[in-house]
Amino acid sequence: MSRCTGHCCERIFLRDADGQPIRIETLREHPEAFQDGAKIVDMLVDHPSGEPNVFTCRHFDRDTRNCTIYETRPAVCRTYPNGRPCTFEGCTLENRGCKS
């Protein structure tokens, strides 16, 4: 089993069940409509690139590439990528369907 390197925590794209982008304002207004929505909205910070609707988790340590709240992270983090192949280039987590 490979260790996760946090690619999915470093660049977060909010999407609905159909893969359509979700605006952060929508998540803030209706957190109950999303798995762990109330927790997630407080975890997101704008990505350093300044790209619209791209975020970084405030609990992701870019130096160590670790989650600083790993033991208490939300379910959406625990289950990502939800049985689908991970789409992040360089993902190393093999045990959940991510490419190596």
Contacts of 45 by beta carbon, 8 Å cutoff, 6+ apart: 55, 56, 57, 58
**Reported confidence tier of residue 57, pLDDT bands at 50, 70, 90:** very high
CA-closest candidate to residue 85, choices 70, 73, 75, 100: 100
Mean pLDDT of the chain: 80
pLDDT tens-place string over residues 72-92: 988 888 887 777 777 777 776
Q: Whole-model pTM?
A: 0.73
CA-closest candidate to residue 89, choices 78, 98, 76, 77: 98
